[in-house]
Amino acid sequence: MLTVAPPDALELRSNATFEALMWALSRPGDSREMPESGLAAIAETLVDLECTVFADDPALRSEIAATGALVAEDISQVDHVFLSSLEGTEVQLATLRCGSALYPDDGATLVANVRHGVGHRVRLSGPGVDGTLELTLGISPGFWAMRAMLCAYPEGFDMLLVDGRSVIGIPRSTLVEVL
Amino acid sequence: MTLSSLTKPWAATSYGFLDASAKRELRRKMLKAIAVPGCQMPYASREVPMARGWGTGGLQVTLTLVNPTSTVKVIDQGADDGVNAASIRRFISRVSGASETWDTLAASIVQSRHRVPEEVMREDQILVLQVPNPEPLRGVEPNISIARQMHADADYGKLWLTLYEQIVRKGRIMQGAAYPSMVNGRHVMTPSPIPRWDVPKLNMAKHLTFLSAGREKRLFAVPPFTRVEPLVFSDRPYRVEDHADLTCRRSGVSGYFMNELPIDGGGSAFEVSDSNLGIKAIQQSEGAAIEVGKTWYRNGEFSA
């Protein structure tokens, strides 16, 4: 008789974190709860030795390096970007990988700490949003302008915005209007 | 970094059969599939103890999603008791400890071969469709590199042409299953060989749909509230199968997708294809307190 191996702590955490990320990207603008706060849990769930990663936080960088992932300094080379803040990063992120119409999956995943519920009001529409959705995010209008320039659907990058344990997903398919 | 720091403690089996790196790869691809609805994302498609072509793609997605609190329903052409469906369901629950169910309303994950359940799926449910051929352009362009370029260019003229030719030759569109559908106005996908009856259920649905082809190593997704429009000409409206007036000979329900069974001496009898809906109807008629959920089709008419 085969007995079920119970999931270990890492698997339980990754499974729950992924579920939060999956629903966050499926329903842009909806906030989901992750089992742990911070970017490290997302890195642990998604990143391994098949990935090339940029992280601005030295502690996170060493954690990511320990997974076997290649840690790069050049944002244009990486598939996952972890930023402790989005402020003043427009110029740096303008080189973010957006894939191509042939291979949209080459577009990067941007994971960043962003305050939910404060800052600028935006209106979201597109797949996963029933009509339109308005919310407030601590992201400057300049960033959204940069994103609109880069995301020529199906090219683009996907965002996971983390505030403590909450995560909000903005995939490239979402139209963001700054109000 | 040393080799030992990359090594995990020994375990007899991985939880959910797939190892952690297989799951991480699938998770990355599933997120990208959600971000670009209907676009086929390549993935590694690991070995599972089942032959390719028997639902390995759907199984890998389900094994990635599943946890001990999940409730899994697996259907094969609408039936929960088919050998393939029963084997997959038992395998998933054995390697993950997830509960099994036949009831669409009770399931958190529904893995399906070639049908979408008749009861409306909720916003917290996930539908995993097994896909034999993920490439809608294969019939018109066997070279996958050229087909990829055609997807990149949104060049679907040849698909429209096959539909037009069917109308010219036969007077109507003959495509019965896997009806090519435009997702989010950009990528044409095959909704897996579900009947035409089921395609409208994916349009602006509340649930999340993953479609995964294990043999072909590609997966794609339809997020909630995403447009899924069957390719039709404006003067030839999309038609589903004429099953609205058929009645199930066992349960007596009518207005749902039916299986046609030949009977002695010619003619046919019909049984409802979503077998658990039939079971529920029978139990209800026998006085059991069974809840039948709201269905996508009411009196044979689609009304989401």
Supply the pLDDT for residue A2.
57
* Backbone φ and ψ of B65, nearest 5°: -80, -30
Range of the domain at B292: 258-302
The answer to whether residue B269 scores a pLDDT higher than 60 is yes
Who among B6, B23, B186 is closest to A154 (CB)?
B186
The count of domains in chain B is 2
Cβ of B187 within 8 Å of Cβ of A153? The answer is no
Examine residue B5 and state whether it is found in any structural domain, yes or no: no
**Strand B208-213 to B126-130 pairing:** parallel
Contact assignment for A102 to B42 by CB distance below 8 Å? no
- Could you tell me if A65 lies within 8 Å of chain B, comparing CB atoms? yes
Q: What is the largest CA-CA distance in chain B?
A: 75
Interface check A179 vs B, CB under 8 A: no
CA distances from B296 to A38, B69, B200 (A): 40, 27, 9
Length of chain B: 304
User: Are B34 and A153 inside 8 Å of each other by CB?
Assistant: no
User: Does residue B10 sit within a domain?
Assistant: no
- Asked if A5 and B208 come within 8 Å (Cβ–Cβ), the reply is no
Neighbour-count burial for B131-165, b at 16+ CB within 10 Å, e otherwise = bbebbbbeebbeeeeebbebbbeeebeebeeebee
CA closest to B149 among chain A residues = A102
Exposed/middle/buried for B168, CB within 10 Å: 0-12, 13-18, 19+?
A: exposed
Determine contact: A1 vs chain B, CB below 8 A: no
pLDDT of residue B13: 83
Same-domain status, B52 and B180: yes
In order of start, what are the domains of chain A with their CATH numbers? 9-178 (3.40.50.11310)
Please check whether residue B24 touches A, CB under 8 A: yes
Do B79 and B210 fall into the same domain?
A: yes
Q: Are the Cβ atoms of A46 and B36 closer than 8 angstroms?
A: no
Kind and range of the H or E run holding A91: helix A90-93
Q: Specify whether the CB–CB gap between A162 and A66 falls below 8 A.
A: no
- Residue B212 sits in the same domain as residue B80: yes
Residue type, A53: V
Chain A nearest CA to B301, separation (Å):
23
Task: Count the neighbouring beta carbons within 10 Å of the beta carbon of residue A66.
Answer: 12
Residue A177 CA neighbour count, 13 Å, CB half: 8
pLDDT tens digits along B12-52: 888 999 999 999 999 999 999 999 999 999 999 999 999 99
Residue in A47, A129, A154 nearest the CB of B36 = A154
State whether B78 and B119 are in the same domain: yes
Phi, psi of B209 (to 5 degrees): -115, 130
Q: Do B36 and A130 touch (CB under 8 A)?
A: no
Whether residue B221 sits in one domain with residue B157: yes
Walk along chain A (179 residues) and give the pLDDT tens digit of each residue.
456 778 889 999 999 999 999 999 999 999 999 999 999 999 999 999 999 999 999 999 999 999 999 999 999 999 999 999 999 898 999 999 999 999 999 999 999 999 999 999 999 999 999 999 999 999 999 999 999 999 999 999 999 999 999 999 999 999 999 99
Q: Do A12 and B37 touch (CB under 8 A)?
A: no
| Complex ipTM over 0.90 | yes
